[in-house]
Amino acid sequence: MKELTKLEELVMMAIWRLKEDAYGVQIKSKVKEIGSREYFYNTLYTTFDQLARKGFITKHFGEPSAVRGGKRKVYFHITKEGRSALVNAFKRHNRIWAGIDEKSFRKEYSG
């Protein structure tokens, strides 16, 4: 199984959380919200391309919008393989952090 990079995981989680409203601007905003870091659009669209090549997401075009000068939004959806990759990432994180509670971790590594 192909594993997700950290940025791919953030993007996939943003798409999952946004559901049917997962398009560029919304994904960029959600990635910043959950990842506490802002990414440039070119970085995100490169990541979309990587995820599509891995078979983890698909994209489709919405209807043209008069507000956007006739441009169509590109919407992203997670595939069955993408859902499996997210489940595997979740399980991997749980194994890595198993037995560690936040309070003792913060105390030990607070400085």
| pLDDT tens per residue across span 65-104 | 777 667 888 999 999 999 999 999 999 999 998 888 888 7
| pLDDT tens per residue across span 38-65 | 999 999 999 999 999 999 999 999 877 7
Check if the beta carbon of residue 41 is closer than 8 Å to that of residue 26: no
Residue 111 has pLDDT above 70, yes or no: no
16, exposed or middle or buried, with CB in 10 Å at 0-12, 13-18, 19+? Answer: middle
Within a domain: residue 82? yes
The CATH number that applies at residue 32 is 1.10.10.10
Q: How far is CA 97 from CA 38, 83, 93, 100, in A?
A: 26, 21, 6, 6
Range of the domain at 61: 6-101+104-108
Task: Quote the number of domains for the chain.
Answer: 1
